[in-house]
Chain A
């Protein structure tokens, strides 16, 4: 079906010049991301009672760095990413184990590792590298192969190792996101629906077992989630105050810098996990819906760019990372509105925090890389075939 010229053209795409690559960068996507981040800067400015200190300014700097990283990542050939994917996965895995061994305690959980020049959250890195590793594993798999349970064993191990490590930190939110994103990867790769049903059934059966291994505070969070008003001054305080702030914002909000609940500190963690509440208190439902709309646009772009890719690795990587992004958005917003338990997932591109911002932009860089290098042909055996 394809002509030799086409093939040549495609092949040459792989050896594109920097100029050509830059030409293929989706600048409207970059603009969209910047727009959401700008929304975040405004909210952080308001969270500090109308000051760029201590959050907005630093967040802007991180965004500038992150933007450069994103572009750099997007310009790296997708085949290189595929080649490095397992190595990156193992590095992330080792870092996770490192956190276990000598992580400093922050926010009541071992999540950070200090590399001297930067404080890293290996679980954030794992969110990307796990996608890359799974994408590489499934890249060469035929539909028939995917149907064989034995074939699914290695990727399951790849998922379970970091999930268990992250759970031990303990970081329920990240574990949940890793599991769900990996699930999406399996689903996209063609794993049979009945197998999913089986796993879900087994999972439900394992709920009591998981409950037993959960930390007290995690159980408490789930219990308060089920009935937050039971304990309005204790564990239910966050959810209740969040709903009060959000609900009192109404349709059009209290106005920029006018959010009473957040400015009077009734709202906890207003610059990080509960920033959506503050935004929705000040901008109202209109602001909230606009933000969700912007997120949806990013998701649509992500889908479109991923599906444009003509190689399975690019498609899987793009869709997997887009799904991770979706999970951030959904879990965070659902959490602050009391739809799911408070699990400590930040609002992507808006919540104050360096590692999340960097890893998200890194992920978008990969999505763009898949798009820029969409016509690169990668054989079933992997990137090495083509070199």
Chain B
């Protein structure tokens, strides 16, 4: 009994100790709860929200691209996709088989769908097919009771309804590349399937067209299934862009270029608005959006006529005789020649033991006649007197040899050589023979059709340094506001010099014997002034060809033929539009390029008659950007 009491005491004492320990531990639990749920509560609440709230980006609709009259050139098309959710169907393959009876599913696609369905969680929809036609959609909808888990989803995809027309201007959109992600903070780029502008206006104005992504806050569970939407913020849709291009004229010009490897630019000589810029052959920008097949790409990239290149801004050609305008102005402005300077052309000119030829012996010509008949000997003489550096300076003032900063990517600079340039790049001094070449726009000289058109515009507008551009300011987005185009500085060319050049260019296309007389516009209200050019492609060939008294261009292989060039402006009575045409390997400028320029300029003037220039007939609402008085 005593022992039992003893033990009872021991166990009582020890039980008390044990209870004390337990109390301490339970208090610790309460303390821990206080730490986690009161002191650290905010931190864990944030972590909990990060767990359950997913921010989803909503891609904004891309801005449309319109022509100057509001005709859409690049739009967003509803892209109907058929998706399948594997958890909603009892047997995925059964359902796919039923679906395949309605829309064809390739073996390859079939395997991909089954594979993806297995890889993703069962509630994740897998794309079966994209770009469904409306009939396919309605047939699927009709059969939906037999197609559990199959659903139609509408996305937006870029579409170019005009296909190849204006493709070089619009460019295209394509999937975001690794390089695009570098240095960009826009989360939209990370969206799977997002497209950004990769060429043309789509690229230059990509930010404005893209808009700002919206966000949707959704609650998700631990495996990522969306439970509900908590908050939604619709972003900003992309801004619509209006180009200065007139689609009717663009289409006319492109058709007129036909199958040639050629380009044409028509611009307003005062505002610099480009009404037409076509380059043939063209390509289908829709193909880039959907993704090119390997052989499609090979065909496009190896085609000798370079369909992917916008030749109007990236094609570089010797200006040929069109450059005589610059030589003329250089001579007149430097005071080295006057309009009365005469040269007698005997069909050739010798320098040392080398000989330079002309098309024929023109006899004695003054300046106007030399331009009208495009006498080479006359300009060998002028060039020799004036010298390359003076000529180059004049050419640069008229926009040659440098980028014009038009709102398109991929513009080429061209090349206007000088003594310093040759010394620096080739290490040998300039020779007087090279003066001769420069005098007729050959040798090192390279220009783009856009530069030629700009040069013509600057001649026609009285010597104002107009610059070409594509997007009309009043409709464009705020970020990429195009340059204000109304006021261009005078280049300080004396008016008599310009007047003489205009007079001579008018004679080219209107007076008998002028190189483009056959291509004249009969209506005096629309008559054009111009200058032909034939750029020799191959030096060896040209010498032979001149020695042999000229082979007909169509007797030579295409690649060996000369480039045909023509610059023009119209109407002579009140110059408004400048135009440049280059037909690669087209042969004579007068016969291959001038007729195209003539036809297009007639069409332009029909559409924009003198009184209400730049306001299309029967259309109102688009005010003329400026008054031509």
Task: List residues of chain A with CB under 8 Å of any chain B CB.
Answer: 1, 142-143, 184, 187-190, 241, 243-251, 260-261, 263-266, 280, 284-285, 288-289, 292, 295-296, 299, 303, 306-307, 312, 315-316, 319, 323, 326, 329-330, 333-334, 337, 339, 380
Report the Cα distance A246→B39, complex, angstroms.
12
Q: Contact between B14 and A188 (Cβ–Cβ < 8 Å)?
A: yes
Q: How far is the CA of A312 from the CA of B8 in the complex (A)?
A: 8
What residues of A have a CB within 8 angstroms of the CB of B1 in the complex? Answer: 1
Given contacts A246-B44, A265-B221, A288-B37, contact A307 B12 (CB under 8 A): yes
Stretch of B17-25, B309-317, B397-405 on the interface side: B17-25
The reply to whether the CB of B425 lies closer than 8 angstroms to some CB of chain A is no
B34 part of interface (Cβ distance < 8 Å): yes
A312 with B4: CB separation less than 8 A = yes
Whole-angstrom CA separation of A284 from B37 in the bound complex: 7
B420 within 8 A of A: no
Interface check B33, CB cutoff 8 A = yes
Name the residue of chain B whose CB is nearest to the CB of A295.
B26
| Distance of A307 Cα from B6 Cα, bound (Å) | 14
B15 within 8 Å of A by Cβ? Answer: yes
- Can you offer 12 A-B residue contacts whose CB atoms are under 8 A? A142-B3, A143-B10, A184-B18, A190-B10, A248-B41, A260-B48, A260-B52, A265-B222, A285-B33, A295-B26, A303-B19, A315-B11
Structural contact, A266 and B41, CB atoms closer than 8 A? no
Known contacts A250-B38, A265-B223: does B22 contact A319 (CB below 8 Å)? no
Residue of B nearest to A326 (CB): B22
Inter-subunit contact B15/A247 (CB<8 Å): no
Which residue of chain A has the shortest Cβ distance to B45 in the bound complex?
A: A248
Q: Contacts A264-B220, A312-B11 hold; do A246 and B37 have CB atoms under 8 A apart?
A: yes
0/1 string, B196-226, CB within 8 A of A gives 1: 0000000000000000000000011111000
Complex-state Cα separation, A246 to B34, whole angstroms: 11
Residues of A within 8 A of B4 (CB): 312
Measured CA separation A323–B18 after assembly (Å): 9
Chain B residue, CB-CB nearest to A139: B7
Q: Which of A241, A260, A284, A334 has the most CB of B within 10 A?
A: A260
B220 contacts which chain A residues (CB < 8 A)?
A: 264
Instruction: Determine the distance from Cα of A289 to Cα of B36 in the docked complex, in whole angstroms.
Output: 13
Please report whether the interface of chain A is mostly helix, strand, loop or mixed according to DSSP.
helix
Residues of B within 8 A of A334 (CB): 25, 28-29, 32
Given contacts A247-B41, A249-B37, contact A299 B219 (CB under 8 A): no
Chain B residues with CB below 8 A from A296, complex form: 23, 26
Determine if A289 and B41 form an interchain contact, defined as CB atoms under 8 angstroms apart.
Answer: no
Contact assessment for B48 and A244 in the assembled complex, using a CB-CB cutoff below 8 Å: yes
Q: How many A-B residue pairs have CB under 8 A?
A: 138
Separation of A245 and B49 alpha carbons in the complex (Å)? 10
Whether A261 contacts B48 by the Cβ 8 Å rule is yes
Question: Please, what's the 1-or-0 string for B564-576, where 1 marks a CB less than 8 Å from any CB in chain A?
Answer: 0000000000000
CB of B221 within 8 A of CB of A264, answer yes
A285 B34 Cβ-Cβ under 8 A: yes
Is B51's beta carbon under 8 Å from chain A? yes
Residues of A within 8 A of B32 (CB): 334, 337, 339
Question: B40 contacts the other chain (Cβ, under 8 Å)?
Answer: yes
What residues on A are CB-neighbors of B71 within 8 Å?
none
Cross-interface CB contact of A143 among B6, B49, B221, cutoff 8 Å:
B6
**Least Cβ distance of B270 to chain A in Å?**
65
| B43 in the interface (beta carbon within 8 A) | yes
Closest to B22 in A: A326
- With a CB–CB cut-off of 8 A, which chain A residues contact B22? 299, 323, 326, 330
Find out whether the CB atom of B11 lies under 8 angstroms from the CB atom of A292: no
For the complex, is B499 an interface residue (Cβ under 8 Å from A)? no
Which of chain B's residues has its CB closest to A189's CB? B11
- Which one of A248, A316, A330 contacts B44 once the chains associate, using CB atoms below 8 Å? A248
B100 within 8 A of A: no
Contacts of A265 in B (CB 8 A): 221-223
* Interface membership of B30, Cβ < 8 A: yes
Q: Is B227 an interface residue (CB 8 A)?
A: yes
Is the CB of B47 closer than 8 A to any CB of chain A?
A: yes
4 additional A-B pairs beyond A1-B1, A244-B51, beta carbons within 8 Å, are A184-B18, A246-B36, A266-B48, A289-B33
Q: How far is the CB of A196 from chain B (nearest CB, A)?
A: 11
- Residues A244 and B38 in contact, CB atoms below 8 Å apart: no
In the complex, are the beta carbons of A330 and B45 less than 8 A apart? no
Q: How far is the CA of A316 from the CA of B17 in the complex (A)?
A: 15
Question: Residue B11 contacts which of A1, A289, A319 (CB distance < 8 angstroms)?
Answer: A319
- Measured in the bound complex, the distance between the Cα atoms of B221 and A261 in whole Å is 8
Question: Nearest 3 CB-CB pairs, A to B?
Answer: A247-B44, A248-B48, A264-B221
Known A-B contacts A243-B44, A264-B52, A334-B29; the reply to A312 vs B7 at CB < 8 A is: yes
Contacts of A299 in B (CB 8 A): 19, 22
Smallest Cβ distance from A27 to chain B, in angstroms? 24
Question: Which residue of chain B lies nearest to A141 when distances are taken between CB atoms in the complex?
Answer: B7
Residue A337 contacts which of B15, B33, B38 (CB distance < 8 angstroms)?
A: B33
B15→A188 contact, CB < 8 A: yes
Asked whether A337 lies within 8 Å of B227 as measured between CB atoms, the reply is no
- Expressed in whole angstroms, the Cα–Cα distance for A189 and B8 within the complex equals 10
Choose from B3, B14, B51 the contact partner of A187 (Cβ within 8 Å).
Answer: B14
Cβ distance B8 to chain A, nearest Cβ, rounded Å: 8
The complex places the Cα of A333 from the Cα of B27 at a distance, in Å, of: 12
Q: Are the CB atoms of A142 and B7 closer together than 8 Å?
A: yes
Chain A nearest CB from B384 CB (Å) reads 80
State A298–B49 Cα separation when bound (angstroms): 37
Please give, as numbers and ranges, the residues of chain B lying within 8 Å of A337 by CB-CB distance: 29, 32-33, 36
**In whole angstroms, what is the CA distance A266 to B44 when docked?**
13
Nearest CB on A from B218, distance (A): 12
Partner of A244, one of B12, B18, B23, B47: B47
- Chain A residues with CB under 8 Å of B23's CB are 296
Chain A residues with CB under 8 A of B34:
285
Q: How far is the CA of A289 from the CA of B29 in the complex (A)?
A: 9
